[in-house]
Structure 1
Amino acid sequence: MESDALIALHWYDVVGLGGTLSILLAFVLLQTRRLSGTGLVYQLLNLFGAAGILVSLFGTFNLSVFLLELAWVIVSLYGIVRSLRERGRGAG
């Protein structure tokens, strides 16, 4: 009976949990003013987090979560490109 209490996690579940932790970490760091919402690190944490959650959908697909995380990836990529362009302008 003891094994019934254990949760069996697949590789995609672990990746999804990592993604969730990444997004939560980004949010906590933003709220505690340790990261800027327009900074590269914040955007990368969100990108990797959303991608991890998308991977977790290999286990059980959910259209709502898929669309939310896909949008999260797109917005994060936009933020990364913007941050890199701003860095490039500042260096010159």
Structure 2
Amino acid sequence: MNHDVLQIIGALTVLAGYVATQLRWTTPRSIGYLTANTLGAGVLAWLAWTSRDWGFLLLEGVWSAVSAASLIAVLRTPSTPDPA
């Protein structure tokens, strides 16, 4: 796939999570938001690595790593049963 197309897909993925959070469709600790950030920033980090764009790699690499760590933490947290 074209490098530019992948950049756009990665950016739109991150932005979709951000917009959804700003519109209160989701929360910053939701699985959807964290997954979008992890994947979108991960794609952008990979593209930055292949282009040797070190500043962008730093930004997107850390963004993806923090999002992934938060996603893992959310997935490991036991869910509270619904009160019946």
TM-score, normalised relative to structure 2:
0.84
1:12 offset after TM fit, Å?
A: 2.1
| Conserved? CA contact 1:12–1:56, under 8 Å | yes
Q: Is the aligned partner of 1:90 residue 2:82?
A: no
The runs of 5 or more residues in structure 1 that have no matched partner are 1-9
The runs of 5 or more residues in structure 2 that have no matched partner are none
User: How many pairs does the alignment contain?
Assistant: 80
Q: 1:25 aligns with which of 13, 16, 24?
A: 16
Once superposed, what is the RMSD of the aligned Cα atoms?
1.6
| Conserved? CA contact 1:47–1:72, under 8 Å | yes
Larger radius of gyration: 1
Aligned residue identity for 2:45: L
Aligned residue number for residue 71 of structure 2: 80
Runs (4+) of structure 1 moved beyond 6 Å? none
Superposed CA offset, 1:12-71 (max 9, x none): 22111101001111110000000110011100000111012123222x321110001110
TM-score, normalised relative to structure 1:
0.77
